[in-house]
Copies of this chain bind each other. A is one copy, B any other.
Amino acid sequence: MAGNSFGTIFKLTTFGESHGEAIGGIIEGCPAGIQLDFDAIEIEMQRRKPGQSSIVTQRKEQDAVKFLSGIFEGKTMGTPIGFVIENKDQKPRDYSHIKDTYRPSHADYTYDKKYGIRDYRGGGRSSARETACRVAAGSIAKQLLKDIKITAYVSGVGNLQLDKPYADLDFSEIEKNPVRTADAEMAQQMEAYIGEIRKQGDTVGGIITCVIQNVPVGLGEPVFDKLHATLGKAMLSINAVKGFEFGSGFEGTHLKGSEHNDIFNEDGSTRTNYSGGVQGGISNGEDIYFKVAFKPVATIMQKQQTINSKGEKVDIQGKGRHDPCVVPRAVPIVEAMAALVLADFWLLNKLSKL
């Protein structure tokens, strides 16, 4: 068994190692009759792909999605949508420096111990390259969801925090700056800081906030598949994520019930939204919002001590083209995973009552 699938009805199953011939996936459960907008899919892929700005990795990957099935004359057929993303950038590189070496805070050691074998060429299955498949599938999920608006943005890079409530931000700023934050001034600070980190050969962590608007009441399948629990798993399954909180989150633990309860308006909406749009694991129609914590990328351009597979001490130094900060490129991944969760619950909810 391996956890390569996500979702119950609208389900994505992925395959692929970072340096294999291709990665790809199968989307099951997408209803028939959706007229796909392939440009919209392409735009999402562009947002995630390397080399799009000076503050992300300079690797050149095309990340073109080739759909092989499930679509006929531009429309979904209800049958599984198979797709591949070929590795165009497969120049024969020298990986001898990491072949037997376990990079610190990478998955080299754990994969080797679990499976007794690993594809040492750049992370193999544990590489974040796999998330390209999530973005491809998520962009189709977004088209299914139509009226539901999913917006993610960078709200923290190192100690730089965009602390304003999301309602006070201008989301149209997000795609105007390479950091993908929702504030022009903060964008400049963050960009400068990431540039500095990069010159140091170092990396830095960050936070992404995601807001989901126009959500119908009723999404989520308690008790175990609560909406926020499934969103949490979706986010925590993204490479480098260390934490997830929604609504009042960790801050909410300091509050009293009398402060935290969301009082109803007569139309069923609530005056405050500490609940983050979810009550009892089911969407209540208010905005869903949550934060996702990303650790600093483990590959740094500095010399580090580590061990090889024989348990001998060796030195290692990152080569090639890596991200100094992962959050700008993770924004479309967070949105894609949110879309997968919502699409699945949106379909399931059609079966809740007669």
Chain A residues engaging chain B, CB cutoff 8 angstroms: 1-6, 8-9, 11, 13-17, 20-26, 28-29, 31-34, 66, 68-70, 72, 75, 77-82, 84, 102, 104-107, 109-111, 113-119, 124-126, 130, 156, 158-159, 197, 200, 202-207, 217-218, 220-226, 228-230, 232-234, 236-237, 242-250, 252-268, 270, 274-276, 279-284, 291, 293-300, 302, 304-307, 311-313, 347-354
- Report the bound CA distance from A254 to B28 in whole Å: 37
Residues of B within 8 A of A284 (CB): 109-110, 113
Let me know if B6 and A111 touch, CB within 8 A: no
A-B contact pairs, 26 of them (CB 8 A): A2-B221, A3-B223, A6-B224, A15-B81, A17-B69, A21-B66, A26-B26, A32-B354, A77-B125, A78-B117, A104-B263, A107-B281, A110-B279, A111-B282, A126-B223, A158-B254, A207-B250, A224-B237, A229-B232, A232-B232, A232-B236, A250-B250, A252-B295, A264-B307, A268-B307, A347-B351
Taking a contact as CB atoms under 8 Å apart, the answer to whether A1 and B16 are in contact is no
Name the B residues within 8 Å of A283 (CB-CB). 110
Contact, CB under 8 Å: A22 / B105: no
Complex contacts, A102 vs chain B, CB 8 Å: 264, 268
Nearest CB to that of A324 among chain B residues? B257
**Contacting pair A28 B9 (CB below 8 A):** no
Contact of A109 with B311 in the complex, beta carbons under 8 Å: no
Per the bound structure, the CA–CA distance linking A350 and B351 in Å amounts to 8
Give bound CA distance, A167 to B229, whole Å: 29
CB distance from A62 to the nearest CB of B (A): 16
Given the interface pairs A3-B223, A80-B15, A254-B158, the reply to whether A242 lies near B249 with Cβ below 8 Å is yes
Q: Does B260 contact A296, Cβ atoms closer than 8 Å?
A: yes
Q: Which of B17, B119, B204 contacts A256 (CB 8 A)?
A: B204
The residue in chain B whose Cβ has the minimal distance to the Cβ of A322 is B257
Residues of B close to A304: CB separation below 8 A? 258, 261, 263
Q: Is the beta-carbon distance between B312 and A266 smaller than 8 angstroms?
A: yes
CB distance from A292 to the nearest CB of B (A): 10
Q: A113-B217, A311-B267 are in contact. Are A118 and B77 (CB under 8 A)?
A: yes
**Most B CB within 10 A of own CB, among A29, A102, A350:** A29
Once the chains bind, are A33 and B117 in contact (CB under 8 Å)? yes
Task: Tell me whether A261 and B300 are in contact (CB under 8 A).
Answer: yes
Check if A21 sits within 8 Å of B68, measured CB to CB.
yes
| A33-B82 in contact given A16-B68, A197-B256, A224-B3 (Cβ < 8 Å) | no
Q: Given the complex of chains A and B, what is the CA–CA distance between A228 and B312 in angstroms?
A: 29
Q: How far is the CA of A43 from the CA of B253 in the complex (A)?
A: 28
Q: Chain B CB within 10 Å — which of A78, A305, A349 has the most? A: A78
Given the interface contacts A236-B244, A254-B205, A307-B266, does A13 sit within 8 Å of B26 by beta carbon? yes
Q: A302-B258, A306-B263, A312-B266 are in contact. Are A2 and B78 (CB under 8 A)?
A: yes
Bound Cα distance A4, B224 (Å): 6
Chain B residues in 8 Å Cβ range of A218: 110, 113-114
